Structure 1
Amino acid sequence: MVERTPKKDSNQHNTSFSPVTLSRSPASSQINLTGSPRVVRDLVANLYNNIQHWNDSHIKGAQIVKNIAVLKSDNPKCYSSQLEEHTSNLYQVVKDLQMLKNSFDSFKGQVNALKKLKNPEILFVSLDIDSIVDMVETIANAYLKEFETKTTVLENIAHCKNDDEAMFFAACWTMQPCVTSVINLKLEALLVETGHRNFN
């Protein structure tokens, strides 16, 4: 004998899931912030802008190291005027990056000064000051390491003895091994947390 499907009891509670609504960041652009939230929000904006300028210089340098690598691959022993011009241009790019590197150092100092206030409260949506300090420091340290790599490329790429060396240094510049997807994710999280990006 086939059993009937039991009817749903009208008194049973509805156990379906409801969407989670995240609170809007108090760092919304419509709100005038003061104190630590204002300092952090401005610092994150400056960090982001610094990285955008870094990316511009990085892209410019990537084309230059590619040109140098091609010249050295064709004739590793040649030190032509063209090579000298490319090297000079790369030196200028690294000088521009040096200014941005100094800003990353400054950001670390600023955010660590906030940490001394020992504020355990959540500043925005989910992060306390210690978490924000750790994220800013991690991001800044990645770019500081990357600056060391780019300086090494500048000092060596024009003196490569063979094709492999030239391509290696060009790849080191282009790939930015210290700026990982984790670093980019931390930056995006800070932008959302401080109201510079909207929740999706």
Structure 2
Amino acid sequence: MHNTPDKNALNTSAFSPVRFTDSPSHLKSLKNDNIGIRTRLKATAKTLVENHRKWDAAHRRGITLCKSIEKCKSHAIKTFNDSTDTNVADKTLYPTELKAICDKLQVITTIFEDVRNSANESRRQIVSFIKLGLTNVFADSSLVYRTWDCTMLQSATDRICDAYENEYEMKVKVMENIAHSRNDDELAMHLAVWEYQTHVDSDIEMLIKSLIIEADIELDDKTS
């Protein structure tokens, strides 16, 4: 007959679930957030992320349009240079169909402008919310999201906004000049400048992905 072990003698600590708790200062900071600073910062972060998706969709659409312009313009250049008859009706560097494509590309650049302006407004809001929370919400803990503090959030937002500003200027230059390309090399150059973004690069993409994780942002599967 086996004796039933004493319940108090069982050591169950090794099987207890591991729990990660917030630090006391962070809990106090959350309690002090009676006006929802962190909630507002999360909403602002979500706006940044959603607008970046719009930027990405517009960028991809612009690539298609730039390729159409390249094809149309290249054909016009070839026809213009190869033709010896000055009375040929289609002897022009600006065929009719070119304008319609360029107009669509111009509309695309307005999307970039909207995203840039919205990002700058988000930056203004983030700075304001952080200043508002310094006296109580972030007095004991500067953590804004999971691991990002106020400084990291502001730095990331600045980098994103600056990237949009610089890339937008590049997009506008391509939009304004690609149809005036004089040869295939210039056409290829303009297409490359649009397609391979210099400023909204892999580092910015990583910041956006980090922001999604840090702020615990839920996004639907729909793309713009």
Please tell me the TM-score bracket, short chain as reference: 0.7 to 0.9
Q: TM-score, normalising length from structure 1?
A: 0.77
Which region of structure 1 is more displaced relative to structure 2, 79-88 or 120-129? 120-129
Correspondence for 2:155 among 126, 131, 134: 134
Any residues of structure 2 matched to 1:157-168 within 5 Å, and which?
157-168=178-189
**Runs of at least 5 residues in structure 1 that lack an aligned partner in the other structure:** 1-19, 27-32
**CA 1:37/1:75 → structure 2, altered by over 3 Å: closer, same or farther?**
same
Q: 1:104 to 1:124 in 2, by over 3 A?
A: closer
Deviation of 1:22 (Å): 6.8
Segments of 5+ residues of structure 2 without an aligned counterpart are 1-17, 27-33, 78-91, 219-224
- Indicate the SS of the match to 2:144: coil
Residue equivalent to 1:143: 164
Counterpart of 1:73? 74
In 2, Cα distance between equivalents of 1:173 and 1:161: 18
Q: For residue 192 of structure 2, what is the aligned residue in structure 1? A: 171
CA gap 1:34/1:195 in 2 versus in 1, 3 angstroms? farther
Matching residue within 90, 106, 115 for 2:121: 106
CA displacement, residues 130-181 of structure 1 (integer Å, 9 cap, x when unaligned): 1111111111211221111100001100101111111111111111121121
* Counterparts of 2:69 and 2:76, CA distance in 1: 11
> 1 CA distance for matches of 2:204 and 2:112?
18
What's 1:36 paired with?
A: 37
Runs of 4+ in 1 over 4 A off after TM superposition: 20-24
Task: Say whether the 8 Å CA contact 1:149–1:172 is kept in structure 2.
Answer: yes
The structure that has the greater radius of gyration is 2
C-alpha separation between the residues in 1 aligned to 2:96 and 2:20?
Answer: 59
Query: Where does 1:1-200 land on structure 2 (aligned, <5 Å)?
Result: 35-76=36-77, 78-117=93-132, 118=134, 119=138, 121-196=142-217
| Aligned CA distance change for structure 1 residues 176 and 71 (closer, same or farther; 3 Å) | same
Counterpart contact for 2:76–2:95, Cα < 8 Å: no
Q: Deviations over 1:87-127 (max 9, x none)?
A: 11111111222222211221121122234344352123211
Cα deviation, 1:52-108, whole Å, max 9, x if unaligned, reads 111121111111111111122223361011111111111111122222221122112
Q: Distance in 2 between matches of 1:176 and 1:90?
A: 16
RMSD, aligned α-carbons: 2.4
TM-score (ref. length: structure 2): 0.69
Q: Which moved more, 1:114-123 or 1:59-68?
A: 114-123
For residues 158 and 71 of structure 1, what CA distance do their matches in structure 2 show? 9
